Chain A
């Protein structure tokens, strides 16, 4: 499935919804969204991952970029991450840098 993202901002929370496959070809698009959220001064980044089916190394690199770009005091939530993607995030240890949750309510 093709990759797509949408971003919405409410207060200092930026919510990015991802779907499809996050790989080397789609990562730059995701990265642009993260940069946009950062430039708007978001203090909380919520990534809706329910429809993200696959994440390659490039995708992980953008997550790491997001964490480092937005600073240690920015909380990142990964919401409803599918098992395959979740495993990748856990095995590489990125799960300790973010909050992995099943659902997210303001």
Chain B
């Protein structure tokens, strides 16, 4: 029997039409045609605008007949479209009254907020046609990708090791030696590198379509173009960035991204997306009308009583995330990426904004965060909050988690940085950070993996710069060095910036290793910034958001230059992966619940069993009893970690092991490479089982077996 519901009932010019289905929103392929559905609570009329791909002027404009509107949704099926070759937008008729919050203007063509593919910025850095009446063009996507039984990996959260990276920066440098530099396809060629390093998950800085030409300008320093390079400014939440795809010029970015994810999954590597729902690329009232503003400004944005934009994001506008309509688009978006792209998790930029009510006040029980936590499709996705916003809300330790949310632990970063540079008064705090910050999370019943531990991230200094600069050097950004954080807790080891002094170079190398060692023996989830494993520098720039150049690109020559640092990082990662006692699912109890004769964790100092908790102390050691690993379910070795951040060498007395076991040395940053670490499993025995001399500012990791 032939279906009746695929027959047109209406006609507009050459186009045959039928009343559409209001859900799902967006443009969906249906038998014989395309279903277009768009919501606006203020529109009095709506016109579908169709273009042939790349054509400047529309090929057709089809008004929605009145009877095609259900509630506040315009829905229409258009039959017989050449769906490979069309681009579409809308004209929204309705009130234009900015002080009252309304920006409808039918002379503008606006983009579908649910656009799955967006054309207009197809090739990275290609100057746009500024006369294009519709610069960001919605296109249709297909869901026929051959996933070959792939599904998200669902790695247990405590077992993750995250690598934060930028799609373009990772392979754009000529030294990357890939066929398609700076693209999703380029990452595929570097999978062997990621495997060798040993990380379990990559976290991609924003890949939703953004406009690299937003606020683009010539650099006052070099004259080269400064871009919106990082892309924390979304144009469309459902579309991958075309300019990051080698196939973007053919409009095949969807397939390229899916292929990347499939290949990574095949090699056991998860993909986490850094998503930006706190604001959009439309900016404040001076910004462009792209989509939301022209469709339903008052619904999508938080507005002051005078009709201006609240700016809790520091980027001009704030998405009205706890409006039920906006909540749904966020939910739809994440479900789409989880289901259609097999994404393993999401990191939410300035997530505290997602917990504000439509007037900006923090909510006790934010419905959006709750919906995400309990969503059936997102049930096994990692949800990671950047638990603060630019409006002053700081929720590290108090982010409304609903048992699901993890947090970027800003306190971890600050504590470890201060301890690392030798500040006094940090030992007590440091003990908390090493345990997965139970002081922040245990009371609420949140486990160690709640804490995403990081010392460096894209925001701020790289690890090399953290030990090479006392202050930021952001002149290249053209903002008189006023941008970027001043609160870096960094130390240059004696000279600001590059130096030939071998003593300082050696100290910096040691400090980087100290940081990596602390990060990888901490309970929680370690996150490594792209390039830190090879000593990448941004020459003291701690806010490189606008640079499409060597300030951001990973220089693969560093892999040879700093081969021994890479080896150290690789060993530390492998060590963590080899030892479940470093990856507890629950917080330590600080007593012996396995009858092993040792508590799960014990604290030491220069004297065994006596940590020095005084304010002047710069030393700390701890021992983990492997019998307690993962609550005793996965027996492991003993691990002892001693940290001497004092400026002189100190003798550390060792706790005694059970009869028959011996201490072996996995790592000692006080020893020159390659003796600073060894391959896990091949640790040589320690000569003196009673103690060891720890050089100034160094870390030693022992294993008892």
Contact = CB atoms under 8 A, between A and B. Distances in A.
Tell me if chain B binds chain A.
yes
Contacts of B183: 91
B284 interface: no
A94 B251 CA distance: 15
Contacts of B179: 87
B407 interface: no
Contacts of B245: 91
A88 interface: yes
Interface of B: 82, 84-85, 142, 144-146, 148, 179-180, 183-185, 245-247, 250-252, 255-256, 258-259, 262-263
A88 B252 contact: yes
A94 B146 contact: yes
Interface in A51-106: 56-58, 60-61, 64-65, 67-68, 87-88, 90-94, 96-97
**Which one of B82, B258, B263 has the greatest number of beta carbons of chain A within 10 Å?**
B82
A68 B142 CA distance: 14
B255 A60 contact: yes
A24 B258 contact: no
Contact of A92 (B82, B85, B148, B255): B255
Contacts of B262: 93
- The A contact surface, by secondary structure, is helix
A45 interface: no
B425 to A, nearest CB: 53
A34 interface: no
A93 B250 contact: no
24 contacts: A24-B85, A25-B85, A56-B84, A56-B250, A56-B251, A57-B251, A57-B252, A60-B252, A61-B142, A64-B144, A67-B146, A91-B184, A91-B256, A91-B259, A92-B247, A92-B252, A92-B255, A92-B259, A93-B255, A93-B256, A93-B258, A93-B259, A93-B263, A94-B146
A91 B146 contact: no
- Interchain residue pairs A-B with the least CB separation, the first 7: A93-B259, A92-B255, A24-B84, A58-B84, A24-B85, A91-B185, A64-B144
Contacts of B250: 56-57, 88
B114 to A, nearest CB: 20
Given A64-B146, A88-B247, 18 more contacts: A56-B84, A56-B250, A57-B251, A61-B84, A64-B144, A65-B144, A67-B146, A87-B179, A88-B250, A91-B184, A91-B256, A92-B247, A92-B252, A92-B255, A93-B256, A93-B259, A93-B263, A94-B255
Given A91-B256, A93-B258, A93-B259, A61 B247 contact: no
Nearest to B246: A91
B72 to A, nearest CB: 33
Given A68-B144, A68-B146, A97-B146, A91 B180 contact: yes
Contacts of A25: 85
A67 B245 CA distance: 24
A6 B245 CA distance: 33
Interface centre among B144, B247, B250 (most CB of A within 10 A): B250
B418 to A, nearest CB: 45
Contacts of A67: 146
A27 interface: yes
A18 B82 CA distance: 22
Interface of A: 24-25, 27, 56-58, 60-61, 64-65, 67-68, 87-88, 90-94, 96-97
A43 B251 CA distance: 31
A57 B256 CA distance: 11
Contacts of A65: 144
A96 B148 contact: yes
Contacts of B145: 64, 93
A67 B148 CA distance: 12
A88 B228 CA distance: 28
B247 A24 contact: no
A32 to B, nearest CB: 15
B526 to A, nearest CB: 30
A14 B85 CA distance: 29
Nearest to B185: A91
Contacts of A91: 180, 183-185, 245-247, 252, 255-256, 259
A95 B59 CA distance: 36
Contacts of B144: 61, 64-65, 68
A58 B246 CA distance: 17
Residue picked from A58, A68, A87, A92, most chain B C-beta under 10 Å:
A92
B393 to A, nearest CB: 41
Nearest to B245: A91
B326 to A, nearest CB: 31
Contacts of B258: 93
B251 to A, nearest CB: 5
A58 B526 CA distance: 43
- Max count, chain B CB within 10 A of own CB: residue among A57, A61, A68: A57
B137 to A, nearest CB: 14
A73 B589 CA distance: 55
A57 B142 CA distance: 10
A58 B251 CA distance: 10
Nearest to B85: A24
Nearest to A65: B144
Nearest to A64: B144
Contacts of B185: 90-91
A94 B144 CA distance: 11
Contacts of B247: 88, 91-92
A104 B150 CA distance: 30
B207 to A, nearest CB: 16
Most buried by B among A27, A56, A67: A56
Task: Pick the most buried of B85, B145, B262: most chain A CB atoms within 10 A of its CB.
Answer: B85
B19 to A, nearest CB: 27
A31 to B, nearest CB: 11
A61 B146 CA distance: 11
A94 to B, nearest CB: 7
Nearest to B251: A57
A27 B180 CA distance: 27
Contacts of B84: 24, 27, 56-58, 61
A34 to B, nearest CB: 14
Nearest to B259: A93
Contacts of A97: 146, 148
B252 A24 contact: no
A16 to B, nearest CB: 19
A75 B258 CA distance: 22
A100 to B, nearest CB: 15
A94 B255 CA distance: 9
A94 B180 CA distance: 17
B146 A24 contact: no
Among B84, B85, B142, B144, residue most surrounded by chain A Cβ atoms (within 10 Å): B84
Nearest to A58: B84
B168 to A, nearest CB: 15
A31 B185 CA distance: 27
Contacts of A61: 84, 142, 144
A23 B482 CA distance: 50
Nearest to A95: B259
Contacts of A87: 179, 246
Contacts of A24: 82, 84-85
A61 B245 CA distance: 18
